Structure 1
Amino acid sequence: MSRMTLGVNIDHVAVLREARRVNDPDILQALFVACENGADQITIHLREDRRHIQDVDVKNILLHSKLPVNLECSINKEILDIVSRLKPHRATLVPEKREEVTTEGGLDVFKYEDAIHYAIEQLHDALVPVSLFVDPTIEAMEKSKELGAEMVELHTGLYANLFAMLHSNLPHSNHSVKELELPRYELETQLEKATHALKISALHAKKIGLEVAAGHGLNYNNLDPIMAIDAITELNIGQSIIARSVFTGLGAAVDEMKKLTTR
């Protein structure tokens, strides 16, 4: 049985807290529950706009977590200085726009090549390993390796949206993905292509010496095709776990996801 690392992203606990600007729910309690119920890693995102995770949260989580902490961040200099000082177990560089609801795509490793290179150098000088959150293309894998990253996290957003448009009530909701309101056969073809892109990108990344994670939009229903890609050894999952926890409790939600991510 091969090992799959489950990174539990607890950002949405902070989203709920910040909605009322109180310390409830307590992010540290979420950390402890996730650790006790099967998480292998804690993932958090320190955004430039601080819309959920705050600087003090990062400090406290790093201080109290018994598990590795994967800190997502942009290539903004102020943020990089904070990350370099706090020294998480890994930094994952992600794109960031203030107006976005969530991360909308992979980091453009070609357009921002120089800035990413300097960011990786700064983090390496602080002895922080680096992963790049990128779209699943062979070219992005090659460039990530060239830039000096140890790992890539494949952006599964397109895959997840296609899956949801085919296999959930998303098309009948206010959040239907307008550009994917297509005939079923077209969605099935696109989903097959998206899954194939993830597979060949993961295999190529592994071949050239990169570790491979995946994340964004993954949930309790769409994991099987991802779990079938042996080159992917880590999944970072947040919103679906926190959403499930509203009904089952966080411990049960993490435990259920851990069972699904055990090969």
Structure 2
Amino acid sequence: MAKLSVNINKIATLRNSRGGDVPNLLKVAADVQKFGAQGVTIHPRPDERHIRYQDARNLVPVVYTEYNIEGNPIQSFMDLVMETKPTQVTLVPDADDAITSNAGWDTIKHKSFLTEVIQEFKNNGIRTSVFVDPNLKMVEGAKEVGADRIELYTEAFAHQYGLGNYDGIKPYTQAAVLAEQLHIGLNAGHDLSLDNIQFFKQNIPGLLEVSIGHALIAEALYLGLDNVVNMYLQKLK
């Protein structure tokens, strides 16, 4: 069974839109774990428009499952990760003004930079994952830079699945097979939802973890957070 890590960025967005502390981010993090999620994900950005750096610190004693912090490894992000020591850091090459993540790393072009960053995290006992498109060369590159895992960027799959084009899964299956051959762990995330997650899981060998936020929180508005977490867990079996 692949693990479910719930991205709680959208909870912070809602809180920040009104000021104050409603909804309470720490309570939501505790609740999704109580409901069965095997991890909590956050993606702080430099402008702190949703998750704040202090949130990352405050979550340390609350997250007792897997704690995954995503982000572009600028110095302030690296310092935060070193301070909080999450279970996993996921490196994402997003620009400061990006609305959401929109591309994976070019692991060949940025080989030297990624190698240095990853080694520093691994020296501190933090598992590393690199956000990549389902491109075999990029998967091979992730192995070369020393990443423990890759996270497949699944927006293209989700878009094609929504159009009824189920062949959109094929590059992801191929990337997963290669990752297995290279002995690199496999995560996935972005636009995965209750509608497409089961099909994705069934076609991706060796899937260890999915990180889901936007869709899960949106679905919870209608179905309830406890219910939605458990619906994902059932589909990931």
The alignment partner of 1:133 has SS state of strand
Deviations 1:82-136 (A, max 9, x none): 1112110110001112332210111222232222122112211222110001011
The separation in 1 between residues aligned to 2:48 and 2:30, in whole angstroms, is 22
What amino acid is the match of 1:61? L
State the percentage of identical aligned residues: 29
The separation in 1 between residues aligned to 2:22 and 2:9, in whole angstroms, is 13
The separation in 1 between residues aligned to 2:159 and 2:41, in whole angstroms, is 22
The separation in 2 between residues aligned to 1:146 and 1:214, in whole angstroms, is 19
Q: Which of 82, 98, 101 is the aligned partner of 2:99?
A: 101
Q: 1:63 Cα deviation (Å)?
A: 1.3
Task: Give 1 or 2 for the bigger CA radius of gyration.
Answer: 1
Q: Is the 8 A contact 1:134 1:153 kept in 2?
A: yes
Does residue 26 (structure 1) correspond to residue 24 (structure 2)? The answer is: yes
Partner of 2:231: 256
The separation in 2 between residues aligned to 1:124 and 1:4, in whole angstroms, is 23
> Matched residue pairs, number?
236
Does residue 138 (structure 1) correspond to residue 136 (structure 2)? The answer is: yes
Q: Residues 1-263 of structure 1 correspond to what in structure 2 (within 5 A)?
A: 3-164=1-162, 166=163, 188=165, 191-192=166-167, 194-228=168-202, 229-262=204-237
Deviations 1:195-218 (A, max 9, x none): 110001011011111010111000
Q: 1:259 Cα deviation (Å)?
A: 1.4
The separation in 2 between residues aligned to 1:113 and 1:155, in whole angstroms, is 19
Deviations 1:6-48 (A, max 9, x none): 1111111011111122211101111111011110111111212
The separation in 2 between residues aligned to 1:68 and 1:227, in whole angstroms, is 20
TM-score, L = length of structure 2: 0.95
What amino acid is the match of 1:243? A
5+ unaligned residues in a row in structure 2: which ranges? none
Q: 1:145 Cα deviation (Å)?
A: 0.6
TM-score, L = length of structure 1: 0.86
Partner of 1:179: none
